[in-house]
Structure 1
Amino acid sequence: MKQDDEVDPIDARLAARLASLRAERGWSLGELADRSGVSRSTLSRAERGEISPTASLLNRLCTVHGRTMSQLLSEVEAAPAQVVRADEQTVWTDAASGFVRRSVSPPQAGLRAEIVEGRLEAGADLAYDRPPVPGLEQHIWILEGTLSITVQEAVQTLRAGDCVRFRLWGPTRFHCPGPEPVRYALVVVEP
């Protein structure tokens, strides 16, 4: 949300899309809460646009709806384009965790790969309890700073120029030990 209590247009469209996804399945808030592990009140507030969902919350909802975060966010953007200029790329911020996510690839339904730019402030810690899509392939290339990433209990510390790839089957954790922020390119490939 913006500081003056005005709802960000992306957050408003995201809230509406979350509500429509639940409605498409005919689920009550209680059913979605049971499936996602997110409280009914939090789900209700997210669907009404009263809160800007955190990355962790969106990950849980993406898991239940069988989408990647990029797919969900692309569903609230305008019509797909072949080229998206840097100043037109969708940027989503999770202020609670210090995570900034830029959708670099032009959104396009049906394509399996996408590029995302991630930024974490020094000291930021972002944990996901499960992948949005089991078996999702990720490649992370560090552009600036240092990132400690935990995948299936294996910890890798990556610095500028380093790259790691893996498939997601369980929890992951992204931590920026600092002292500078970390900026990385993330290539996501659906199974």
Structure 2
Amino acid sequence: MRQAVPDRTVPDPAAPDPAVPDPAAPDPVDARLGSRLAELRAEHGWSLGELAERSGVSRSTLSRAERAETSPTAALLNRLCHVYGRTMSQLLSEVEAEPAPVLRAAEQQVWTDRTSGFVRRSVSPPHGGLRGELVEGRLSTGADIAYDRPPVPGLEQHIWVLDGSLAVTAEGTEHLLDAGDCLRLRVWGPTRFRCAGPEGTRYVLAVVRP
């Protein structure tokens, strides 16, 4: 009786290990975000060129963001939110499953702008029937983010600093906030968020849509 010969095939060292994530694969959040951006453009019936004209963002950058070939910056998302008439929290919530009434800390979506060093935790994302949102922001040392327009004109914001120092510029005036300070404003034009201390800063941003 002929005996079965054991398989002595030598694994190809160049073959990818299925147990190891592909570093070239897009971040799952970026992939879902890119798909949603493409859906929004299609819903409006705009070409990449038309969206580029409306947003001031190049066609190539828009295309790469929709295909998740690059991680979009906060400034880029802010411009697109302005065009589509939604807040950043709304946009990010749309790439999640149906929102739950209770969001545990481990379930809160965290998004990182790798370019500026801005980390954004959606503590209380938009929910049906509610106008308010709650966001935790973290800026690393030296981080500086400028938004050339509000996502929604007249957006109400309450900025409460928890740790460190934060400089917020609105309507040409810079407000220096230390831990415990709160700035209240309606946003009509450009704004700027800057880490103003030697260490990182952490703050809460409460947003109320008009």
Q: TM-score range by the shorter chain?
A: over 0.9
Match of 1:171 among 165, 190, 210: 190
Taking every aligned residue pair, what percent have the same amino acid on both sides?
A: 72
How far apart are residue 178 of structure 1 and its match?
2.2
How far apart are residue 177 of structure 1 and its match?
2.1
CA contact (8 A) 2:162 2:180 kept: yes
Give 2:207's aligned amino acid. Answer: V
How far apart are residue 3 of structure 1 and its match?
8.7
Verify: 1:54 aligned to 2:73, yes or no: yes
Distance 1:173 1:9 in 2: 28
Verify: 1:83 aligned to 2:102, yes or no: yes
CA contact (8 A) 1:94 1:100 kept: yes
How far apart are residue 4 of structure 1 and its match?
1.4
Question: What is the aligned partner in structure 2 of residue 66 from structure 1?
Answer: 85
Give 2:113's aligned amino acid. Answer: D
Question: What is the aligned partner in structure 1 of residue 5 from structure 2?
Answer: none
Residue by residue over 1:85-139, the C-alpha shift from the partner in whole angstroms, topping out at 9 and shown as x without a partner, is: 1111000000101100000014413421010000000110000000000000000
Verify: 1:122 aligned to 2:141, yes or no: yes
CA contact (8 A) 2:135 2:206 kept: yes
| Change in 2 beyond 3 A, CA 1:25/1:4 | same
Match of 2:163 among 126, 141, 144: 144
Structure 1: give runs of 5+ residues left out of the alignment. none
The two structures, once aligned, show a CA RMSD in angstroms of 1.2
How far apart are residue 6 of structure 1 and its match?
2.1
Match of 1:180 among 182, 186, 199: 199
Distance 2:125 2:186 in 1: 23
Structure 2: give runs of 5+ residues left out of the alignment. 1-20
Distance 1:26 1:148 in 2: 39
Corresponding residue pairs, total: 190
| Change in 2 beyond 3 A, CA 1:27/1:110 | farther
| Change in 2 beyond 3 A, CA 1:112/1:49 | same
Which has the higher Rg, Structure 1 or Structure 2?
2
CA contact (8 A) 2:90 2:125 kept: no
CA contact (8 A) 1:125 1:176 kept: yes
Give structure 1 regions of 4+ aligned residues with deviation exceeding 3 angstroms. Answer: none
| Change in 2 beyond 3 A, CA 1:178/1:3 | farther
| Change in 2 beyond 3 A, CA 1:106/1:133 | closer
Verify: 1:10 aligned to 2:29, yes or no: yes
Question: What is the aligned partner in structure 2 of residue 40 from structure 1?
Answer: 59
Distance 2:63 2:47 in 1: 10
Distance 1:3 1:138 in 2: 39
SS in 1 for 2:166: strand
